[in-house]
Amino acid sequence: MKRHLPLVLAGAALLAACRDPAPASAPVPTVAAPAPAVPAAVASTPLPVEASDAHGSTPPIGPPLAVAGEVHDGTPRGDSARCLAGTGAKVARQERAIHRWVDAAGIVHYADRAPSGVARDHRLIATAGGPPVSVEANGYDVNLPADLHARAVADALAIDRILRTLFAADGDDRLALRIVFVQSPEAYARFIGEPDLARSAGAYSARERTVYVRAQASEAIGFAVLRHEIVHALVHERIGNLPTPLNEGLAGYFERLEVAGQGGRVDIGPLRARLAAAVPADPAADLADLLAVEGPAFYREHSEQRYARAFALVALLMQDVQGRALLGKVLAQQRESPCEPVAAEHILDAGYPGGLQGLAAALARWMAAPDAAVHAW
């Protein structure tokens, strides 16, 4: 579904715009559950092509982009409070002891667990009401990955810190994550309840405030899918119903985050071949089409190209101060009115040098040869 809005791209009107707590040291339970109820709406991560390719094509070079979309959950558009997840209200504030140390590579770490291995300058820091992340994780019909709790907390804290630092995505500093791993395709399809997304690798249910992850061929892919869905949870918690292409682009970008210390790095290098293969023949028209797609339509025909281009759009904006400031304007306007997706195309057209046509040309050039292989945060 699309709603049409006028835009000028090189004189042509082309665009239509869119769309409980477990302590850190506690083991993560694996449970059997009854047949799942069908959530009303989800943000989804279609299967990486290495795991399943609906068209039988050769998997592209490089690791998968776990990609996702978001379907609104029927929340009344005027009820702004209900358009944000609000899970942090369930997390009690408490005194916390944070371990601070420096590893052998000179990286400073902050964590709620003592260091293992080589560490120096180790000390405890008492904090009152720091940004706690509560994780409830269950396995529906499969064992959970090792260290799931610690890795989910570390990823959520790192991504949340970057969103807050770069985009002032504030609000309640707490977050409750509910995660369910599922192996059976039939059970997963019942959880998701959306035929277009039944073969996805992961999903975030906006109504259930729950992340669903299908068991993957490797833990690395599984955790990439989980990071992707954590981004959707954070967007729902802090920002609102962000337009589908930017929601997908942010999730695709941060799923590649490798956490180190208080920050991390996003390595784009391994995706060069896939990005080059997705360079559009008509950049301006393609950007117009990308920004116009709303909800389920994003996941249908030509979806892999859309995922790659949405990722590239966010990565391009994230690589310099001006681009981040422009992306921050989109997020800030969305936070002011979280229920209805903002007209991101107008903000990008007004703020990018040369407007949307300039952005489309820059995006095509960047996809053909990314300026920076690694983004450090």
pLDDT in tens, 125-174: 655 555 578 889 999 999 999 889 999 999 998 998 888 888 876 666 78
How much of the chain exceeds pLDDT 70, in percent?
72
pLDDT at residue 11, rounded to an integer: 28
pLDDT at 333 over 80: yes
Lowest average pLDDT, out of 40-54, 204-218, 353-367, goes to 40-54
Confidence bin at 347 (pLDDT 50/70/90) = very high
Q: Which residue has the higher pLDDT, 312 or 115?
A: 312
Q: How many CB atoms lie within 10 A of CB 207?
A: 14
Most confident option among 72-86, 196-210, 212-226: 212-226
| C-alpha span between 338 and 361 (Å, rounded) | 30
Residue 95: predicted pLDDT: 59
* Phi, psi for 43 (deg, rounded to 5): -110, 130
Band (pLDDT 50/70/90 cuts) for residue 355 is very high
Alpha helices (runs of H) in 144-242, residue ranges in sequence order: 148-167, 185-192, 219-238
Q: Is the pLDDT of residue 94 over 70?
A: no
* Closest alpha carbon to 248 in 46, 41, 14: 46
Q: Residue 224: pLDDT band by 50, 70, 90 thresholds? A: very high
d(CA 67, CA 83) in angstroms, rounded, equals: 22
Give the pLDDT band of residue 89 (cuts 50, 70, 90).
Answer: confident
Report pLDDT for 91. Answer: 67
Domains in the chain: boundaries = 3-19+33-89+130-376, 95-128
Mean pLDDT over 291-304 rounds to 87
In terms of pLDDT, which residue wins out, 288 or 303?
288
pLDDT averaged over the chain?
77
What whole-number distance in Å separates Cα of residue 180 and Cα of residue 209? 11
What mean pLDDT is predicted for residues 342-359?
A: 97
- Taking alpha carbons only, the member of 193, 227, 213, 202 closest to residue 139 is 213
Which neighbouring-strand residues pair with 137? 179
More confident call, 80 vs 30: 80
Whole-angstrom distance between the N-terminal and C-terminal Cα of the chain? 36
Averaged pLDDT, 40-57: 37
Q: Cα–Cα distance between 168 and 244 in angstroms, integer?
A: 21
Q: Could you tell me the pTM of the whole model?
A: 0.75
Q: What is the distance between the alpha carbons of residues 260 and 111, in angstroms, rounded to a whole number?
A: 11
Mapped onto helix, strand or coil, the DSSP state of residue 373 is coil
Phi, psi of 17 (to 5 degrees): -115, 160
Q: Averaged over 242-268, what is the pLDDT?
A: 91
- Judged by DSSP in three states, 197 sits in helix
